[in-house]
Structures are given as C-alpha cells and as structure tokens.
Structure 1
Amino acid sequence: MQVLVYGAGQLAQMMYLDGAALGINVMAVDVNNNTVVHPVSKSPLDCTLEQAIELADALTVEFEHVPETLLEQAQASGKLYPGIEAILVGADRVREKQLLSGLDIPNCPYQIVDDLAQLDECVARLGERLIIKASRDGYDGYGQWRLKAASDLPALKTQLANLDLQAVPLVVEKMLNFDREVSLIGARSKSGEVVVYPLAENLHHEGQLHVSVAPATNSTEALTEQACDIFTKLVNGMDYVGVLAVELFQCGDELLVNELAPRVHNSGHWSQAGSPTSQFENNLRAVLDLPLGLAVNTGGEASVSAMINIIGCDDHKLALLGIGGTHLHWYGKTVRPKRKMGHINVTASDYAALGEKLSALAGYLSLEHFPQLQEEAARLAASN
C-alpha cells in the first residue's frame, strides 16, 4: 500500500517511519516545486506528481498551507483524506470560525475585520484586551498581534496599515483569562471508526509549543467527555477522515476551541512512546481504512508522557538517552531561530517520576532554549 503526503517536513518523515513497519510506503510532495521526494532523505523520486497520485492508495497532508491548485488536483483523484474543505478550514481562520459557529461548538468570542476602522467596534464589543490574528498563513505566534489597552489602538492601526484586509481579513478575539491550554487528538477512518487520545496539556513560550504532558494533569471525566463531544461533532460534521487535532482553552470547567489542525500535530508527538499506537500510524490506518490502533495505555511504565520540543538549537547531549524512558527524534534540519529541530519524548509510571526525569533531562540541555522545562519538572514532581 502507498500513501502520498503533501509536504516534506518532519511530520511526513515520521509517517514514513511508522508506515515502514506496516509495509506501507510513504512518499512526500515538496509543495514548493511539486517534486515527489523520499520523506527522510528528501531525494527526488523517479516519478512525476501525476504518477505518484495514480500509484497511491490514499493522499493526505502534513500541513494545511498547501497551494489550493495542488489540493484541487488531489481532491479530483478521489483519494484525498481529509478532504479539501477540511484542509482549507485549517488554513483559514474565517472558515474555521464559520465551521465552529455552524456546529454550535464553543470558541473564543470574535469578530471578523476587513477594514481597520472596525477595530473600534471590536473594542466596544469584545473589550480592550484583544488578540488579532491574520486569517491565513499564521502559525507559531507569527501573524498575531495583541491589544492590551484601548489607548494603544492608534499605534496598532499604524502597525497594521499595510495589510490587505480584503484579501486576508483579521480574526479579532477577546483575550481570555484561561486556566490552561489542552489539546485533543483523535482519528476517524473512512468507515467511521473513531479513536481519541488522552487530553494533553500544552505549555507555550513566545507563541510556540515547548512542552506537552499527557494525560493532562487534573483531567476530570467530565472534562474529557466534553472534549470528546467537541471532537465527535467536528469529525462527523465534516465527514472527516484522518487525524484531527483540536486545541482548547480551559476556562474553569468549560472548554473553548482555540484552533483546529487537520493533520498529525506537534502536541501529539508524545504518542510515539506513550501510546500503543502513535498518531502517525493511526493517520495512515485511517486514510487507508485499516482498523485503528489503541490510543490509550492501560498502565505500566508508560502511563504518563511528556514531549519537549528542541527549538532553534542543536547543542543537546546524546547522553540524555541514558535517562530511562527517553527517546530522541531528530529532524535533520539546518539550525535557525525558532525552528523546530527535533523533540524528546519521556515516559514514566506517574507524574512525580516524570517530573524527576525532566529535571534530570535539564542537565543535558542548554536551558536558554528550554525555558519551560525546569518549572514543568518541579510542577509534575509535586503533583502526585
């Protein structure tokens, strides 16, 4: 069986590695030049994009910002999972908000803005503390601005003056005092089978995910049920096939959707070591309509997990592998500031043991690049 992935980054690479164990061949498309490449070596393969589409049993994506012409060609094959509409929802915050509102799914109060003069109305309606997001091409904190006081509005308008808001409107959201961010990742197959992973708790720094812990601490049955209800509404409402990530804000006992990602997701990387079936394998299973694998551990050494992103550096020490239950995943990229270079997965029997392992891990890392690690280690060590 063969799967063609649009995008040739680390997510395609990890799908390839999991697929190989099942005898599934994964190819990737470099969407910058429409070249079919090997997902690990990035070497061009001896076939055209049209031939690769013909050979593949299923097509999928590793990120949502694929040129629409390529998505339309993929959709025409009848093999693209998820479908083009679901992918475009992930690429456009206006479409995303329309979907959430149409399915009556709670999300942050917002207003769509295509003229800077409308920002005054946003302040009057949503309050003076706002998050302003470009509706397309924003990620990892890029394409976002914050308004903390109405007196700063004139300066913000000046900063945004050169944007073409008719082409790319803004989504303006009320800045919430949420307790934490969590995410739910699950998979739905072509035949409608669904599995969901435990809620993960996510810690960010400067707009980027730095640490995920799963299952999230202090997760009640009611909270998990609420997240699963949201996920089920989404996948059924979109007739979705593949892995879907739902990022959520927890405000007291209520969950509000922050963002959707129609693909495997950074906050699910912990599943490589902390789950019987990784998100990457389940994505392949889902798009090929194979039986989905278990997503939840029943106990043992890997009962709790953490994922630590390696961002903008390559100066970690490989001796960290001596910490029990620790796995390194390296992407083979050239170092750049804020670039995700790899990640580390750590598993343990409980949160206290996980905290101890993260504290030990800190000794092998340059902590200026891991600002959340020591604080999270201390929190987990005290949480049992």
Structure 2
Amino acid sequence: MRVLVYGSGQLAQMMYLAGCPLGIDVQAVDVNSDTIVHPVNKTLLESNLELAIESADALTVEFEHVPERLLEQAAKTSKLMPSIEAILVGADRVREKRLLDRLSVPNCLYQIVSDIEQLDECVAKLGDKLIIKASRDGYDGYGQWRMTDIAQLDELKKALSALDLNAVPLVVEKMLQFDRELSLIGVRGKKGEIKIYPLTENLHHQGQLHVSVAPALDISPALQSEAENIFTTLAEGMEYIGVLAVEMFQCGNTLLVNELAPRVHNSGHWTLSGSDTSQFENHLRAVAGLPLGDTVAKQPSAMVNIIGCCSFSRDLLSIPGCHLHWYGKSVRDKRKMGHINVTADSYISLGEKLEQLAQYLPLEYFPKLLKEAARLKQSYTTPC
C-alpha cells in the first residue's frame, strides 16, 4: 500500500512514521519543485510526479495551500482524499464561510469585502471591533488585522488599499468576547464511519498555537456532544475522507466555528502520546480503507510547540511521560521546529510536569507554559 502526500514538511514526516507499522509506504511531493522526496530525510526518490501518482493507492495532503494545478491533476485520478472541494475550503475563507452557512453550522458574524470602501458597511453591521482576514494564504497570525476602535478605520483602509481585493477578498468578522479556543479532531472513513477525539483546549500567542491540553478541562457532555454534531455535519456534508480539524470559540455554552483544516492538525499532535491511535495513523487508515482506530484519550496530555528556537536541554526527556518530536528544520523566527508531548495520570500531575519542563527550556520562546502549568495544578477536574 502506498500513499502519496502533497507537501513534504513535518506532517508528512509524522504520517510516514505512522505508516511504517501498518506496512503503508508514504512518499511526499515537494510542491515547490514537483519532485518526489522521502518524507523524513527529504532525499529525492527515483520517480517523477506522474509515475508517483500512478503507483500510489491514495493521494492526500499535509496542508491546504497546495497549488491548485496539482490538486486538479490529483483529482482526475479519483484517488485524492479528502476531495479537492474539501481541501479548497480550507485554503479559502470565503469558500469556508459559504460551506458553514450552507450546512447551518454556527460561526462568527461576518461580511465579505472586495472593495476597501465596504469597510464602512462592515462597521455599520458588525460594530467597530473587527477581525479582518485575508481570504487566502493567511495562517499563524499572518494576513490578519485587528480594529479595536473606530479611530483606526482610516489607517486600516490605507494599509489594506494596496491589496488586490478582487483577487483575494477580505473576510471581516465581528470581534468576539469568547471564553476560550477549542478544537476538535475527527476522522471519517471511506464507508462513512466516524471517530472523534475529545475536545482540545488551545493557547495561542501572537496568532500561533503554543500549548494544547487534551481532553480540555471542564467540558460538559452537552458541549462535547455539540462539537461532535458540528463535526459530523461537516464531514458528512462534504463526504469527507480522512482527518478533519475544526477550530472553535467557546462562548458560554455555545460553540462557534472559527476555521477548518482539512488535514492532520497541530492541535492533534497530543494524540501521538495520549490516545490509543494517533491522528496520523487514523488519517492513513481512513484513506487506505482500513478500520478506524480508537480515539479515546488514555490520560491527560499536553502538547508544547517549539517555535523559533533549537537551544534547549534534551534532559527534558528525564521527565516521565515526556516525548520530544523534532522536525529537523533550520531555525527561523516563528517557525515550528518541533513539539513536546507530556502525559500524566491527572491534570494536577500534568501541571507539575509542565513546571518541570520549563526548567529545561528558554522561557522567552514559551510564554504560555508556566501560566498553563499553574492553572492545571489548581485543577480538580477528574481525569478522563
């Protein structure tokens, strides 16, 4: 069995590692050069793109911003999973909003802007506190602007006037007062079967995910059920195959969908240590037509992103339940270099381990770590 992944970054690498025990050979496409590479060491393989597509049993993606010409080529084979339509939804916020509305999935109030003067109408309809997002190519905080006061409107218009809004419209959302950011990772198989992981709580800094905790604390059965209903509506509505991530805001007892990621996702990395079957293995099982694996959380888990640094003590591995996942990249500001998974038998113990972890890390790169450790140490939520 062979799976060809479009994209050759860390997600393709983790899919490769998950595929080895299953006997699934995972190859990767460097979408910048249309070459076929080994997902771990990035060496060129003796195959061209056409031959790799022909020899693959399934085609999939590690990120949604694959050039459309490559997706169109892949879609003609009927091997692409998820579908090109689902992948393009993740790459375009306008498509995403239209899908959410069509399926009656609750999301943030918004307006689509293709002319800078439409911002005045947005203020009239949504108020003077706005989140402005480029509809394409924005992630990790890039391609986003905030307006917290009407006095900023003229300055924002000047900044945005240089953009081609006909080619890349803006999605302007009402700025929410939400309680926290959550995500749900789920998987749908070829026969329509669905497995869903517990809700994960995500802590961001400057638009990037820094820490995830799963299962999220203080989640009622009703809220988990609401999230699962949202996932099922989306997955069935798109006839989706593979892992899908749904990012949400919790506002009281209500969930609003913020973004969709039609792939394995950063906030699901905890599943490598904290669940019986990781999101990477389940994605491969889905596209290969194999039975899906168990998604129950075995114990409380935290995932800590390593961003923009490589100098830290590997002695962190002395902490029981601590696992390092290094991506082998060159260092760059705001670049995800790797992640650390930590598991424990209670949330209090998890907080204590995160506090230990902080001793081995340059904390200027981990601004959310100690605060989250303290919060977990104060928790008396019953573990899963």
Name the TM-score, length of structure 1 as normaliser.
0.99
Supply the AA of the counterpart residue of 2:354: L
Q: CA deviation at 1:308?
A: 0.1
Specify the alignment match of 1:234 in structure 2.
234
Q: Tell me, in whole angstroms, the C-alpha distance in 2 between the residues paired with 1:110 and 1:161.
A: 20
Q: CA deviation at 1:161?
A: 1.1
Specify the alignment match of 2:86 in structure 1.
86
1:326 and 2:322 aligned: yes
Specify the alignment match of 2:21 in structure 1.
21
3-state SS of the aligned residue for 2:166? Answer: coil
Supply the AA of the counterpart residue of 1:246: V
3-state SS of the aligned residue for 1:139? Answer: coil
Deviations 1:285-337 (A, max 9, x none): 0001100000103xxxx510000000000012110000000000000000000
Specify the alignment match of 2:346 in structure 1.
350
Select which of 296, 299, 306 maps to 1:303. 299
3-state SS of the aligned residue for 2:212? Answer: strand
Q: CA deviation at 1:207?
A: 0.1
Supply the AA of the counterpart residue of 2:366: F
1:116 and 2:141 aligned: no
Q: Tell me, in whole angstroms, the C-alpha distance in 1 between the residues paired with 2:106 and 2:121.
A: 22
Alignment root-mean-square deviation, CA: 0.5
Supply the AA of the counterpart residue of 1:17: L
Specify the alignment match of 2:265 in structure 1.
265
Q: CA deviation at 1:65?
A: 0.2
Select which of 299, 302, 309 maps to 1:313. 309
Select which of 352, 372, 379 maps to 1:376. 372
3-state SS of the aligned residue for 1:117? Answer: helix
Q: Tell me, in whole angstroms, the C-alpha distance in 1 between the residues paired with 2:254 and 2:60.
A: 32
* Runs (4+) off by over 2 Å: none
Specify the alignment match of 1:206 in structure 2.
206
Specify the alignment match of 2:192 in structure 1.
192
Q: Tell me, in whole angstroms, the C-alpha distance in 2 between the residues paired with 1:318 and 1:34.
A: 36
Q: CA deviation at 1:193?
A: 1.1
Instruction: Name stretches of at least 5 consecutive residues in structure 1 with no aligned partner.
Output: none
3-state SS of the aligned residue for 2:158? Answer: helix
Q: CA deviation at 1:246?
A: 0.0
Q: Tell me, in whole angstroms, the C-alpha distance in 2 between the residues paired with 1:316 and 1:72.
A: 43
Supply the AA of the counterpart residue of 1:38: H
1:95 and 2:95 aligned: yes
Q: CA deviation at 1:134?
A: 0.1
What pairs with 1:22-37 in structure 2 (closer than 5 Å)? 22-37=22-37
Supply the AA of the counterpart residue of 1:376: E
3-state SS of the aligned residue for 1:151? Answer: helix
Deviations 1:147-196 (A, max 9, x none): 01111100000111100000000000000000000000000011111100
3-state SS of the aligned residue for 1:364? Answer: coil
3-state SS of the aligned residue for 1:138? Answer: coil
Supply the AA of the counterpart residue of 1:24: I
Deviations 1:337-364 (A, max 9, x none): 0000000000001100000000000000
Deviations 1:237-283 (A, max 9, x none): 00000000000000000000000000000000000000000000000
Q: Tell me, in whole angstroms, the C-alpha distance in 1 between the residues paired with 2:40 and 2:300.
A: 29
Percent identity of paired positions between Structure 1 and Structure 2 = 69
3-state SS of the aligned residue for 1:60? Answer: strand
Q: Tell me, in whole angstroms, the C-alpha distance in 2 between the residues paired with 1:127 and 1:157.
A: 16
Specify the alignment match of 1:150 in structure 2.
150
Q: Tell me, in whole angstroms, the C-alpha distance in 2 between the residues paired with 1:316 and 1:89.
A: 38
3-state SS of the aligned residue for 1:137? Answer: coil
Give the length in aligned residue pairs.
380
Q: CA deviation at 1:21?
A: 1.2
Specify the alignment match of 1:335 in structure 2.
331
Q: Tell me, in whole angstroms, the C-alpha distance in 2 between the residues paired with 1:130 and 1:304.
A: 35
3-state SS of the aligned residue for 1:377? Answer: helix
Q: Tell me, in whole angstroms, the C-alpha distance in 2 between the residues paired with 1:199 and 1:55.
A: 37
Supply the AA of the counterpart residue of 1:357: K
Q: Tell me, in whole angstroms, the C-alpha distance in 2 between the residues paired with 1:160 and 1:380.
A: 41
Q: Tell me, in whole angstroms, the C-alpha distance in 2 between the residues paired with 1:123 and 1:348.
A: 47
1:281 and 2:281 aligned: yes
